[in-house]
Amino acid sequence: MRKKIVRKRNNVVRKSQKNRAFFSGKTFRYVIGFFLVLLFIGLTYHYRIGLAYYFSFKSNKTLTEASEAKRISDVRNFQVLEKSEGQSIGIDVSEYQGKISWSYVDTIENKYPLHFVFIRATVGMDRPDRQFKRNWLGAKENRMIRGAYHYYRPNENSLEQAALFIKTVKLQKGDLPPVLDIEKLPKNQSIANLKIGLRRWLNAVESHYGVKPIIYSGERYYDDFLKEEFSDYLFWIANYNFYREQIENDWLFWQFTEKAAIPGIIGNVDVNIYNGDLQQLQFITVE
């Protein structure tokens, strides 16, 4: 009899524990589900303007007009462009965009005019971009403010890289200052030596053109390695994160997406915002 009583008590305990565990797990799933629903509602509300445009239900558009307009590739892109009204918009291109039909490169979504373009000129110390000459001329003929940038390779000689850029790029009145694109960390040298090399490139290019170059990099790279020691330079910063919707005050340019659709260009294109209007952009060009 005693053994049976003990077994019954154990069964009651197990059953009670199972009920509590099930209830706890079920409650947890409900809480997570409720949180996800709130998150979805919050994001939908925040991006309501972009979503309305994307799905062609914006109040000031008829369905016929909407069907004729190109859909923006990213709802966030439209949100950023809406918040950047009045600021100058541009793109950057390289050989990866293939042969561009420059006469068609004019706006994003038939609404936001494109004022400027940065064109990759050189890579490291050994070669120009394969489409640079064509793009450089095409942008000029299309009456866009153009600028040239160099993709810097940290493990190659900085002065030879500068010499290649100088040999390749002939800046004219109305062009943007030269740009140094630094994105990678060195493999065979210290960060201190990397910074020495960057300074050498910047000084050589500034001495040749008589204008201070702009530095391009990602926001994290900028914060970690460039912000303090290169504070005497203006920066073009890349950040595609959905929570970033406006340019920082200390950024000259902001590359906010790499997935935009532009007339005349096949595939995705980077889009940039200048921290000012068209007149202010023209003010920083080469004289």
- Total domains in the fold of the chain: 2
* DSSP secondary structure, 106-127, as one string: -EETTTEEEEEEEEEEEETTTE
Answer yes or no: is 72 within a domain. Answer: no
Answer yes or no: is 22 within a domain. Answer: yes
Q: Which residues of 63-93 are buried (b: 16+ CB within 10 A; e: fewer)?
A: eeeeeeeeebbbbbbbbbbeebeebbbbbbb
Answer yes or no: do 12 and 106 share one domain.
Answer: no
Answer yes or no: do 122 and 258 share one domain.
Answer: yes
- The CATH number of the domain holding residue 153 is 3.20.20.80
Name the residue with higher pLDDT: 20 or 199.
Answer: 199
Place of tokens 């966030």: 76
Within the chain, strands assigned E span: 89-93, 107-108, 112-123, 127-128, 145-151, 179-181, 214-218, 234-238, 253-260, 269-274
Judge whether 100 and 114 are in contact, CB under 8 Å. Answer: no
Angle (CA) 216 220 224, round 5°: 95
- Between the alpha carbon of residue 69 and those of residues 55, 59, 261, 270, the distances in Å are 11, 15, 12, 20
Answer yes or no: do 38 and 138 share one domain.
Answer: no
Across residues 98-110, what is the average pLDDT?
93
What single DSSP character describes residue 211? Answer: S
Answer yes or no: do 132 and 183 share one domain.
Answer: yes
Answer yes or no: do 198 and 117 share one domain.
Answer: yes
Answer yes or no: is 149 within a domain. Answer: yes
Catalytic residue of the set 183, 224, 229, 248: 183
Judge whether 98 and 267 are in contact, CB under 8 Å. Answer: yes
Residue 22 has pLDDT above 60, yes or no: no
Answer yes or no: do 138 and 12 share one domain.
Answer: no
What residues make up the domain containing 18? 2-46
CA 101 – CA 248 distance, rounded (Å):
32
Q: Using H for helix, E for strand and C for coil, what is the string for 44-94?
A: HHHCHHHHHHHCCCCCCCCHHHHHHCCCCCCHHHHHHHHHCCCCCEEEEEC
The pLDDT assigned to 58 comes to 37
Across residues 35-50, what is the average pLDDT?
56
Q: Which amino acid is at 74?
A: D
Catalytic residue of the set 92, 129, 175, 181: 92
Answer yes or no: is 55 within a domain. Answer: no
Answer yes or no: is 63 within a domain. Answer: no
Answer yes or no: do 219 and 103 share one domain.
Answer: yes
Answer yes or no: do 35 and 90 share one domain.
Answer: no
Judge whether 74 and 257 are in contact, CB under 8 Å. Answer: yes
- Between the alpha carbon of residue 238 and those of residues 117, 176, 222, the distances in Å are 15, 18, 9
Express each pLDDT in 228-286 by its tens digit: 999 999 999 999 988 888 899 999 999 999 989 999 999 999 999 999 999 999 999 99
Three-class SS state of 271: strand
CA 63 – CA 89 distance, rounded (Å):
27
Share of the chain above pLDDT 70, in %: 76
Tokens of 26: 């079920």
Express each pLDDT in 142-161 by its tens digit: 999 999 999 999 999 999 99
Residue 123 has pLDDT above 90, yes or no: yes
| 183 catalytic per annotation | yes
Residue 10 has pLDDT above 70, yes or no: no
Judge whether 181 and 201 are in contact, CB under 8 Å. Answer: no
Q: Which amino acid is at 26?
A: K
Residue 31 has pLDDT above 70, yes or no: no
| 92 catalytic per annotation | yes
